[in-house]
């Protein structure tokens, strides 16, 4: 869940980066007493995310700015819709504009792309989930945007769950140790609330991993026939996650194999920003 503290911390840093000594242009051109009203308007269709972040950029620039959010995160919009209205000192509105737009455009792009994946998998059991392939410092914002688009969050950080991947397994089984044995040792060392997931890249790894009592098995870059075979082999004894080779053209077929989760790094590392503008409608 995106908190007010997280929003203010990240947005404040961005505002300092963009105007460390103020906005030279607005100070030179715009009268100090001028006020303005502007609307957040999309140039293309999409799904909104980051409304509160947009409002925070305005508020932290100048507490005299008033932001009226017309729709909530997760709302689909069309070109020309009024998503928010901003009223306040004109210099401050213009100073905050770029940072406010950067965040809401990026977050809405992620939400919009996520919503497309969710639509593609409708009617299947598969949930679309994100990964840790996020922009450093912006993970909370980008993960919130995935939720806005109808997706789900994977572990938020390395601290949240145990996920043993190929490099972990290579080190654990060095010297010929049994995969099941080492995974059981890991399982026994964990607290009762800690989830345990293991990545496999071959069908023959599934049985020894299942024998260790893990919670989730990630099938990495499996072909469709292998995915179906793996789902049948696991037989509901663990959550099944598919990863690798996922795009809008392949995700439906992957979902139809019966997997529970489909993790998609592209949701956060490849989403295109949505074109949103802040249009001044009243400048006395």
The CATH number given to whatever domain includes residue 37 is: 3.90.1170.20
Residues 125 and 260 reside in one and the same domain: yes
pLDDT at 122: 98
pLDDT band with cut points at 50, 70 and 90 for residue 173:
confident
Q: Name which of 137, 146, 200, 140 is nearest 168 in CA terms.
A: 200
DSSP state at residue 22:
B
Token readout for 148 is 């806005």
Q: Is 47 in contact with 77 (CB distance < 8 Å)?
A: yes
Q: Do 68 and 186 belong together in one domain?
A: no
Q: Which domain holds residue 70?
A: 4-114+272-282
282 — pLDDT class (breaks 50, 70, 90): low
Alpha helices by DSSP H, listed for 40-174, are 51-61, 90-120, 139-148, 166-172
Catalytic residue set = 98, 133, 165, 199, 220
User: Is pLDDT of 283 > 60?
Assistant: no
Confidence of residue 176 (pLDDT cuts 50, 70, 90): confident
Q: What is the pTM of this model?
A: 0.95
The token pair at 38 is: 């502007």
- 238 and 249 share one domain: yes
Q: Within this chain, do residues 197 and 172 fall inside the same structural domain, yes or no?
A: yes
For residues 260 and 128, membership in a common domain is answered with: yes
**Token pair listed for 267:** 């949701």
Greatest Cα pair distance in the chain: 77
Q: What is the pLDDT of residues 34-73, one digit of tens each?
A: 999 999 999 999 999 999 999 999 999 999 999 999 999 9
CA–CA distance, 112 with 229 (Å, rounded to integer): 32
| 89-148 pLDDT, tens digit each | 999 999 999 999 999 999 999 999 999 999 999 999 999 999 999 999 999 999 999 999
Q: Are residues 35 and 125 in the same domain?
A: no
In the DSSP assignment, the letter for residue 227 is: H
For the domain that residue 248 is a member of, what is the CATH number?
Answer: 3.20.20.70
Both tokens of residue 282? 């009243």
Least confident of 81-85, 158-162, 278-282: 278-282
159 & 51 share domain: no
Is the CB of residue 241 less than 8 Å from the CB of residue 218?
yes
Check whether 221 has a pLDDT greater than 70.
yes
- Same domain? For 15 and 135 the reply is no
Residue 33: partners with Cβ closer than 8 Å, 6 or more residues away: none
């Amino acid at each position: 869940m995106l908190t007010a503290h997280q929003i203010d911390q990240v947005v404040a840093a961005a505002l300092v980066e963009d105007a460390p000594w103020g906005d030279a242009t607005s100070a030179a051109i715009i009268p100090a007493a001028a006020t303005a009203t502007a609307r957040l308007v999309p140039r293309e269709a999409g799904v909104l995310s980051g409304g509160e972040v947009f409002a925070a950029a305005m508020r932290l620039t100048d507490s005299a700015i008033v932001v009226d959010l017309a729709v909530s995160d997760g709302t689909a919009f069309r070109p020309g819709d009024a998503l928010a209205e901003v009223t306040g000192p004109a210099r401050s509105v213009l100073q905050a504009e770029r940072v406010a737009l950067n965040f809401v455009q990026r977050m809405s792009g992620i939400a919009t792309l996520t919503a497309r994946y969710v639509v593609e998998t409708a009617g299947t059991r598969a949930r679309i989930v994100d990964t840790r392939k996020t922009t450093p410092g912006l993970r909370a914002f980008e993960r919130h945007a995935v939720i806005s688009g109808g997706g789900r969050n994977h572990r938020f950080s390395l601290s949240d769950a145990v996920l043993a991947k190929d490099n972990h397994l290579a080190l654990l089984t060095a010297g010929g140790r049994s995969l099941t044995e080492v995974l059981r040792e890991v399982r026994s060392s964990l607290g009762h609330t800690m989830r345990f997931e293991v990545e496999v890249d071959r069908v023959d790894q599934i049985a020894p991993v299942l024998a260790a009592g893990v919670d989730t098995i990630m099938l990495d870059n499996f072909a469709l026939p292998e995915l179906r075979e793996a789902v049948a082999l696991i037989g509901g004894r663990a959550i099944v996650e598919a990863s690798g080779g996922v795009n809008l053209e392949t995700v439906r077929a992957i979902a139809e194999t019966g997997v529970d989760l489909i993790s998609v790094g592209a949701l956060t590392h490849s989403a295109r920003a949505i074109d949103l503008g802040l249009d001044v409608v009243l400048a006395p």
